Amino acid sequence: MLRHGIELEISDKLSEYNQQLIKKYWECEKKTLRYKYSIQSLTNRYKFCNEDECEKYVARHSSAIITDERICCSSCGRRIIVKLRQELNIAFEKGFKFELDCRNCMDLSIDEIAKNVIDSIENIIHLEYNFLFKNRELSLTYLEKIYLYLISLKCQVNEYGKLKKEIWQDMFITERADKNFLIKSLYDKRVIFNTKKNDEIIKIINENSKFFLKKSHLIDLEFRNKYQKYRYLFLEENTFLNFDLNYESFNHMFEELRNQFDYYELDYLDIKEIREFILEQKIIDAYQLISNIQKYRPIPIEKSIELDCVLVELVEKYNLLVVNSLLSYQADKVALRLYNLEHAQQRDRDPYFVNKMFITRITSYLEYCKLNNKIPSHIRGIGPNWSYTSLEYFVSKSIINEGLSWTTFSGDELIHKWLNSEKVTIKPDL
Ligand SMILES: [Zn+2]
pLDDT digits (tens, 9 = 90+) for 350-406: 656 778 889 999 999 999 999 999 999 899 999 888 889 999 999 999 999 998 999
Q: pLDDT band for 430, please (50, 70, 90 cuts).
A: low
Q: Kindly state the percentage of the chain with pLDDT values over 90.
A: 60
Distance 35 CA to ligand 1 centre (A): 28
Q: Is 38 helix (H, G, I), strand (E, B) or coil?
A: coil
| Residue 76 backbone phi and psi in degrees, to 5 | -105, -10
Total-model pTM = 0.73
Distance 326 CA to ligand 1 centre (A): 75
Q: pLDDT band for 346, please (50, 70, 90 cuts).
A: low
Distance 208 CA to ligand 1 centre (A): 10
Distance 76 CA to ligand 1 centre (A): 4
Q: What is the pLDDT of residues 83-131, one digit of tens each?
A: 999 999 888 888 888 888 887 787 788 888 899 999 999 999 988 998 8
Cα distance between residue 152 and residue 175, in whole Å: 14
What is the enclosing helix (H) or strand (E) of 10? strand 6-10
Q: Is 60 helix (H, G, I), strand (E, B) or coil?
A: helix
Q: Where are the domains of the chain?
A: 6-106, 124-260, 264-430
Cα distance between residue 4 and residue 416, in whole Å: 80
Mean pLDDT confidence for 327-349: 80
- The pLDDT of residue 417 is 96
Distance 125 CA to ligand 1 centre (A): 23
Distance 106 CA to ligand 1 centre (A): 7
Distance 215 CA to ligand 1 centre (A): 13
Among candidates 294, 160, 327, 323, which has minimal Cα distance to 239? Answer: 160
Distance 150 CA to ligand 1 centre (A): 45
Distance 1 CA to ligand 1 centre (A): 29
- Determine the residue type at 66: I
Distance 51 CA to ligand 1 centre (A): 30
Mean pLDDT confidence for 27-49: 91
